[in-house]
Amino acid sequence: MANPDGIAIDWIARNLYWTDTGTDRIEVARLDGKYRRVLVNEDLFEPRAIALAPEHGWMFWTDWSEKRPKIERSNLDGSERILLITKDIVWPNGIALDLERNKIYWCDAKTDKIEVSNMDGTDRREVITDNLPHLFGLTLLGDYLYWTDWQRRSIDRAHKFTGGEREVIVDQVPNVMGIKAIHLGKMNASNSPCARDNGGCSHLCFNRPNNRCILNYSNIFL
C-alpha cells in the first residue's frame, strides 16, 4: 500500500474496498483486514473515488489521469469491467450513488461541474455548474448532494434533482477532502446471497449469480 485514496464498504458482505493512487490498484479485504485481494491493477492511472452498489453486485470508481480520465464500473470482484464516462471529463474526483433511482453522480475539479447519469452511463446531464472552483469529495444523503471544495474550504449541499436549495453547511475548513454521509437503518440486504453466513464462503463473498466465493490464494495477501 502506497497512497490509499478512496474507500467504500460493502455493508452486506462486510468487505472493505479502497483505491490506491500509489500502486494504481483497487483492493478489497474483510472489515478486519483479512483475505486482502487485488481486484483491479491494469489500465489504472490515478484511481480516486470509489462507490458500491452491493445489491446490484457493482462497484464504480473514478480515474483522473490527464491522458485518459474516466469513470468505470465492474462487478464487486473486479470482473466484467465497463467504461461508463470518457468524454468531457478531466479530473473526476468525488463519486456518489443514488441506489433508489439507479443513478451515479460525480464531480469534476477541472470542468467545475457536478453531473449525473444512469448506472450504465446513459442519460447524462449537468446538475450544478456555478461557483464550484475545486471540487473534491461528493456524497448523497436523501434528496441532497454534499460536496467539499478545496478552494472555498467549505462543505456545501444542494438538491440532487435541480441543484437548487444550495447552502453552505461548514465554512473555512482547511484541507477539506473526502466526505461520506450514511443513512443508518436504510440498508437493505435481503436480496444478496452474501447477507447470511458470508454466503457460505470461507473467505470473501461477492454478490454474483455464480462463483461468488473467492478462494484464489495467489491473489490474496495473507
3-state secondary structure 66-108: CCCCEEEEEECCCCCCEEEECCCCCCEEEEEEECCCCEEEEEE
Domain, as residue range, for 94: 4-221
Helix (H) / strand (E) element for 214: namely strand 213-214
Q: What is the pLDDT of residue 58?
A: 96
Contacts of residue 40, Cβ cutoff 8 Å, sequence gap at least 6: 25, 26, 47, 74, 78, 81
pLDDT of residue 188: 64
Q: Distance between CA 22 and CA 5 in Å, rounded?
A: 9
Hey, how many other C-beta atoms are within 10 angstroms of the C-beta on 168?
12
Structure-derived torsion over alpha carbons of residues 38, 44, 45, 49, reported in degrees to the nearest 10: -70
10 three-class SS:
strand
pLDDT of residue 187: 65
The count of domains in the chain is 1
CB 89 within 8 A of CB 68: no
Give the model's pLDDT for residue 193: 84
Residue 149 sits in a domain whose CATH number is 2.120.10.30
pLDDT mean values, one per 10 residues, the chain (222 residues): 90 96 96 96 95 95 92 96 97 96 97 98 98 96 96 96 96 90 72 84 84 52 38
β-bridge partners, 105 = 96, 116
Phi, psi of 165 (to 5 degrees): 55, 35
Q: Is the pTM of this model over 0.95?
A: no
Residue 3 confidence (pLDDT)? 85
Q: How many Å apart are CA 166 and CA 137, to the nearest integer?
A: 16
